[in-house]
Structure 1
Amino acid sequence: MTYLDPLADLIRSCLPPDAAPPADSAALFRIYAVLLEAKGEQVTDEDVHNAWSAWMQSVDSSHAALIPFFDLPPETRAFDAPYAEAIREAARQIRRSSGHERP
């Protein structure tokens, strides 16, 4: 376990109840933890798709969604939104707990 695992767990805890992360996705959430560290509240749905694509390439390199974000149909792009929002919420929680919250 590294410093990324608690961040990955925090992101997972910020997902809405109806989100269904892929099975065996610990490595994916570690990549999302890197996005949290690098981009925080500025993370985009496209960033999440790119992270997912990097992970999916090692899981199923023939997956139909392994194309650039803006080439995906809108209904497929929508799958990335809850993960991006979970990363942004995790960033907000970290900011609040660190005492750097603006009044």
Structure 2
Amino acid sequence: MSYLRDDARLIRSHLPPHARPPHDVEGLFLLYAVLMRAKGEHVTDVDVHDAWAAWTEMRNPDHAALVPFEALDEATQRQDLPYVEAIRAAAGERGVSGAS
């Protein structure tokens, strides 16, 4: 297993049960692992949405949420929060402070 897959697995382990994604999102969590290494505990909901949008663009380019984070309604924006918190928790566990 590569270091990024290991980081992706750690991030997933920090998700609350209600935020468990489907099984076919390995590529998305690799992007989240890159975010963790680059931004660490400074990762934002905008960062998480942008990573999700890049991943979704390759899978479903017509998805309704492929808009900038600021254009999403509040309920949709909140869906990114568990992933932000999981990335931050994993970064803390790894000792990755990252850049702000």
**Where do 5+ consecutive residues of structure 2 fail to align?**
none
Determine what percentage of the aligned residue pairs are the same residue.
Answer: 54
- For residues 18 and 93 of structure 1, the distance between their equivalents in structure 2, rounded to whole angstroms, comes to 22
1:39 Cα deviation (Å)? 0.1
Tell me the SS of whatever aligns to 2:18.
Answer: coil
Kindly indicate whether residue 77 of structure 2 is the aligned counterpart of residue 81 of structure 1. no
Taking CA–CA contacts closer than 8 Å with sequence separation of 6 or more, which of the two structures ends up with the larger relative contact order?
A: 2
2:54 aligns to what?
A: 54
List alignment gaps of at least 5 residues for structure 1. Answer: 99-103
**After TM superposition, what 4+ stretches of structure 1 lie above 4 angstroms from structure 2?**
none
The residue type paired with residue 94 of structure 1 is: R
User: In 2, Cα distance between the equivalents of 1:22 and 1:47?
Assistant: 21
RMSD: 1.2
Matched, 1:43 2:43: yes
Give the TM-score of the pair, scaled to structure 1. 0.89
TM-score (norm 2): 0.92
* In 2: Cα distance, 1:15 partner to 1:54 partner: 21
Report the secondary structure of 1:18's partner residue: helix
